[in-house]
Chain A
């Protein structure tokens, strides 16, 4: 079962920052927070992941609260091509642990 809770949908104006929240209140100390997105009918695309510290890459920033029970994915300047379903997933650091997807957040970027 998915161990994360995300809003089913969000809108964001083009050019503005998109902030996608995720609750993972039962996360354990040896679990990463992963974010993927899926544009219509394509395979999921890896975005970013983190354990404790905030992370940033060329696609997005990941902010994890100090108690690790929630996180926020930030797309700094949303474009129309960022319209997709965004999945927040917790996954153990070690072991052959596969991804358990929930229903994600459908982000619509509006012109």
Chain B
């Protein structure tokens, strides 16, 4: 089955700098790769997703890149702000199947 690894587990960046979180997956059939943000005490919420036929997708300050050959994908947050502090999860899903999550990255933004 699918296995998703996520790094780093914690990340601290200066406000205004960029943050990058990386994930790898094992199942070459996976074709959908979402990213979720979870604020303290709240439920995870989707922030951006990418399908396997697209190499990069951007939405304002966040972007995702996907390398299907290497089976890895990354989340990039530019011009970080205090409200970006949260736990971020990557995930991978084969078609019409279960979604497997990575172990999460706790992002802290230093003022």
A and B pair up: no
